Amino acid sequence: MSLPRFLIPYLRDLPAELLPLVEQIADLAMDLRWTWSHAGDAMWKIMDPQLWELSENPFVLLQNLSHERLQALSQNRAFRQHLDQLVNARDGYCSCGGWFGDVYGDAGLRGVAYFSMEYGLGKALPLYAGGLGVLAGDYLKAASDLAVPVIAVGLLYQEGYFRQMLDADGWQQEIYPYNDSSSLPLRPVLAHDGAWLSIPIELPGRTVQLHVWEARVGRISLYLLDSNNPLNSALDRGITGKLYGGGEEIRLIQEIALGIGGWRLIEALALEIDVCHLNEGHAAFVTLERARCFAEKRQIDFREALWATRPGNLFTTHTPVAAGFDTFPRALMMKYGQPYVKNLAMPVEALLALGRSNGQDESEPFNMAYLAARTCGSMNGVSRLHGQISRSIFQKLYPRWPQHEVPVTHVTNGVHMPSWDSPWADEIWTHYCGKGRWLGSEEALAAEIRKLDDAALWNLCGQERADLIRHARQRMRVQLGQRGADAETISQVDRILDPNVLTLGFARRFTAYKRPNLLLHDHDRLARLLTRTDRPVQLVVAGKAHPADNEGKRFIQEWVKFSQRADVRSHVVFLEDYDIALAQEMVQGVDVWINTPRRPWEASGTSGMKVLANGGLNLSELDGWWAEAYTPDAGWALGDGHEHTGSGWDAAEAEQLYHLLEDEIVPMFYERDASGIPAAWVALMRTSMAHLAPQFSSNRMVREYVEQLYLPAAAAFRQRTADGSTTAQALCQWDAQLETSWHEIHWGNLIASREEHGWLFEVPVYLGGIPPESIQVQLYADPVANGAPVCETMQRGGEMPGAVNGYLYHVRLNTPRPCTDFTPRCIPCHPDACIPIENHLIHWWIGNITLENC
């Protein structure tokens, strides 16, 4: 195996007999599977209990073990047996066929390349800022568990996202620790000649070389591109200096590195990839580079290559508002686009048009999401509601098409349950559902969890809540110590929180649309809620604001100041530096998770999903995932399921939030039966665990991606690229002909004849230079009363006398609706094209209607 660079000096003085032991330990420590498979925790603790308690990171352990300690471990038979068992278990995990191999091993899906700007796998590899990265990390873990043939591509940031500290006034301070690659669980990727693999990207006036690192995530390889190469200039070494940092131009270059550099990495490694999955639009340049490389190999032009490769590209958007997309001004795109289009043999304006809603408008900025939409064969949002919102956002790319036909589907996000469940929850799930419960289909889990008795569930709550309070107190001691608090003040931490009190959790990015201070709408009312002696409540709060978001920082400061009130001090804590580790502690221990975004701004949200496996309940706005998950027997809903504007609605929802807590949630928690168990509360827990946890697990999400999107995309890609890509070439010619002659289509008068059960519709269509087989004439009507729209294909009759390429189209329709509800339209048609995502032309009938037999 290839050991990390930091071990090389360490190994020089290591006795030879210890080398196999170090290789075994390093092999386990370098595989981030330990972030969710906790079978090795006991072994890591044996190696160095104190260091394990502080770091919970076997890679840090390995870096700090002395030779003497290694010698002692090598002579410990029980330790060696445990180590061998873990190595054998990991090898068995990685070598078995898994769900994908068992179910779809012969489906022809050779590989999926997943591109993301950030990855949240654990604190050992801090390459994430928030929910997008944590979702990407959970996706990789689930893909590994299900043995889906995925590789991932990202960037290695020298600083990553900031760490948070709060000063004495509760104001957020940002700290940027350095990610020293020699101390991260990474291996350099070597080229065929044994040198460190470098990927070139051309920038104006120079070529930048990107080093490549590999992180192992179980069965998955995560490749990270790194510009911190001594062969680059000082400026270019900083391209991957900071996640989402450095300004507009650096952001563009990072996205060039991720997309263009990412596909060149795939080419350099000769990986067989059918599907490129873009996790947001940041990586959209990969679609251009993939087509460019295909064109070069097949000796075809770029447009034909894009028609060949487009079906193999998938774009997942997480953005609920158009303003959230990355855009770049024309001047900046000209600067970086001019050198690149030389490789595409196309004008730079043609490239820029791919990233505009109106390709001819030179004043419109270049939009990465629009580029992704135009160069991918499918798009999806991340919840059912977000799919609807996304169809609205992207409608401008499909002018005159009804919104419900905008080609955006949805796959609702899920979370990797083994990464977020507590040790006690894991024990329960294992006992009732088996060790392989998250390794395949989850349909059978609900019935097993339904068997849990009340006492087991209530004991689970008590154990988890006590553990959260232990962690919270320890974190508060550290926070106070960092601020220079005296010993007396620090000693008071043990009086904070109570393991027997209803515990609410609230943690997220502090920004206006998430309304993080909705609970603070009435300070005194909240204080009364928390401090009732007969039914006390406590709050654990955490979250970061963007460094430039002073409003978000003021939200944090308000929470900190509230937590310092004398009457609530023992009931509220604000824990600084919200990250994966703190999130795990919180979601494993809270009774109720609160989420208060302004609908419909939460595309999905996954924080509330993470409490499900642990028996936690959700009190959330009917937005994102909760809009489709909520049922009254599994949690509580905030809002009315509609969009509202203005501060007045915030006040109304604050009132609703207080009412739910005061009149429903708190009384239910404290209403106990003769054995001291809140039976109604436990019933909600059981339903939430049984039905919502399986439904919102990332293995369900990944299976949906495979079955609904990857397999069809791979099949379409193979068809387009077979036989010298003749299908793609034919489609390119078909598309060009339609673009040239579409304006020649015109209509005759529509005739609607009343029949016994409906209507006969007839309309002449004159197609100009377009062959009739290249189009389809449809009769369309909008939906009514929440029904489905009507869209019927009209049949083509013979060519009309005296007309050139003119035909009479007709259709019979059994319907009680009036004929005026229906409108003919003409759309592109090709057996191998996907309409409208690959061609959005549409021509609606305009003219006179003649009624007969009425």
Q: How confident is the model at residue 7 (pLDDT cuts 50, 70, 90)?
A: low
The conformation of residue 808, written as its DSSP 8-state character, comes to E
Q: Write out the two tokens for 748.
A: 């005759």
Given a cut of 90, is residue 774 above it in pLDDT?
yes
Q: What is the CA radius of gyration of the chain?
A: 30
Mean pLDDT of the chain: 93
What residues does 592 pair with on adjacent strands?
504, 617
CA 231 to chain centre: 34
Write the CA distances from 44 to 22, 47, 57, 71, 584, integer angstroms.
13, 5, 8, 16, 19
Percent of the chain scored above 70 by pLDDT? 98
Task: Give the mean model confidence (pLDDT) for residues 591-610.
Answer: 95
Write the CA distances from 700 to 345, 409, 411, 637, 707, integer angstroms.
43, 16, 10, 24, 10
Residue 600, SS3? coil
Beta carbons within 10 angstroms of residue 95's beta carbon: 10
pTM: 0.95
Q: Write out the two tokens for 779.
A: 């009769």
Determine the Cα–Cα distance for residues 212 and 294; give it in Å rounded to an integer.
23
Percent of the chain scored above 90 by pLDDT? 82
Q: Which amino acid, residue 510?
A: F
Ordered DSSP codes for 631-679 = -TTTEEEES-SS---SHHHHHHHHHHHHHIIIIIIHHHHH---TTS--H
Class of domain 445-696: alpha beta
Q: Which residue has the higher pLDDT, 701 or 441?
A: 701
Residues 6+ apart with CB under 8 A from 390: 317, 379, 381, 406, 408, 410
pLDDT the model gives residue 5: 58
Determine the Cα–Cα distance for residues 23 and 823; give it in Å rounded to an integer.
71
Beta carbons within 10 angstroms of residue 296's beta carbon: 12
CA 33 to chain centre: 19
Is residue 173 within 8 A of residue 482, CB to CB? The reply is no
Beta carbons within 10 angstroms of residue 436's beta carbon: 11
Pairing relation of β-strands 750-755 and 758-766? antiparallel
Q: Give ∠ CA 580-585-586 in degrees, rounded to 5.
A: 95
Determine the Cα–Cα distance for residues 744 and 760; give it in Å rounded to an integer.
26
Q: If we measure between CA atoms, which residue out of 232, 222, 57 comes closest to residue 140?
A: 222
Q: What is the pLDDT of residues 63-88, one digit of tens each?
A: 888 889 999 999 999 999 999 999 99
Q: If we measure between CA atoms, which residue out of 116, 119, 122 comes closest to residue 38?
A: 122
Given a cut of 90, is residue 127 above it in pLDDT?
yes
Q: If we measure between CA atoms, which residue out of 797, 757, 804 comes closest to residue 777?
A: 797
CATH number attached to the domain at 736-852: 2.60.40
Phi then psi dihedrals of residue 845, to 5 deg: -65, 135
Given a cut of 80, is residue 854 above it in pLDDT?
no
Given a cut of 70, is residue 6 above it in pLDDT?
no
Burial environment of residue 589 by CB neighbours within 10 A (0 to 12, 13 to 18, 19 or more): buried
User: What fold characterizes domain 112-159+186-410?
Assistant: Rossmann fold (3.40.50)
Determine the Cα–Cα distance for residues 274 and 714; give it in Å rounded to an integer.
5
Q: Give ∠ CA 570-572-574 in degrees, rounded to 5.
A: 125
Q: If we measure between CA atoms, which residue out of 637, 734, 736, 745 comes closest to residue 684?
A: 637
pLDDT the model gives residue 17: 85
Task: Give the mean model confidence (pLDDT) for residues 659-675.
Answer: 97
Q: What is the pLDDT of residues 87-114, one digit of tens each?
A: 999 999 998 889 999 999 888 899 999 9
What residues does 850 pair with on adjacent strands?
751
Q: Write out the two tokens for 325.
A: 């997309």
Residue 365, SS3? coil
Pairing relation of β-strands 150-155 and 206-217? unpaired
Q: What is the pLDDT of residues 191-240, one digit of tens each?
A: 999 899 999 999 999 999 999 999 999 999 999 999 999 999 999 999 99
Is residue 132 within 8 A of residue 117, CB to CB? The reply is yes
pLDDT the model gives residue 282: 96
Is residue 243 within 8 A of residue 161, CB to CB? The reply is yes
pLDDT the model gives residue 1: 47
Q: What is the pLDDT of residues 538-571, one digit of tens each?
A: 999 999 999 999 999 999 999 999 999 999 999 9
Burial environment of residue 814 by CB neighbours within 10 A (0 to 12, 13 to 18, 19 or more): exposed
Ordered DSSP codes for 192-258 = TTSSBPEEEEEETTEEEEEEEEEEEETTEEEEEEE---TTS-HHHHTTTSSTT-SHHHHHHHHHHII
Burial environment of residue 174 by CB neighbours within 10 A (0 to 12, 13 to 18, 19 or more): middle
Beta carbons within 10 angstroms of residue 426's beta carbon: 17
Residue 790, SS3? strand
Task: Give the mean model confidence (pLDDT) for residues 121-148.
Answer: 94
Is residue 244 within 8 A of residue 251, CB to CB? The reply is yes
Residues 6+ apart with CB under 8 A from 542: 506, 507, 574, 575, 576, 578, 582, 583, 586
pLDDT the model gives residue 11: 64
Given a cut of 50, is residue 248 above it in pLDDT?
yes
Write the CA distances from 719 to 123, 715, 773, integer angstroms.
42, 6, 21
Determine the Cα–Cα distance for residues 303 and 90; give it in Å rounded to an integer.
45
Write the CA distances from 171 to 167, 557, 643, 722, integer angstroms.
5, 6, 32, 60
Determine the Cα–Cα distance for residues 373 and 367; give it in Å rounded to an integer.
10
The conformation of residue 162, written as its DSSP 8-state character, comes to P
Roughly how many angstroms between the first and final C-alpha of the chain, as a whole number? 83
Q: What is the pLDDT of residues 809-836, one digit of tens each?
A: 999 999 999 999 999 999 999 999 999 9
Task: Give the mean model confidence (pLDDT) for residues 362-390.
Answer: 97
Question: Where is average pLDDT lowest: 224-238, 338-352, 521-535, 541-555?
Answer: 338-352
Write the CA distances from 73 to 18, 38, 53, 475, integer angstroms.
10, 20, 19, 32
Is residue 123 within 8 A of residue 579, CB to CB? The reply is yes
Q: What is the pLDDT of residues 708-753, one digit of tens each?
A: 999 999 999 999 999 999 999 999 999 999 999 999 999 999 999 9
Domains 112-159+186-410 and 445-696 share a fold: yes
Sign for the pseudo-dihedral over CA of 604, 606, 608, 613: positive
Residue 153, SS3? strand
In the chain, what are the domain boundaries? 7-95, 112-159+186-410, 445-696, 736-852
Task: Give the mean model confidence (pLDDT) for residues 320-343.
Answer: 92
pLDDT the model gives residue 647: 75
Given a cut of 70, is residue 9 above it in pLDDT?
no
Task: Give the mean model confidence (pLDDT) for residues 466-483.
Answer: 93
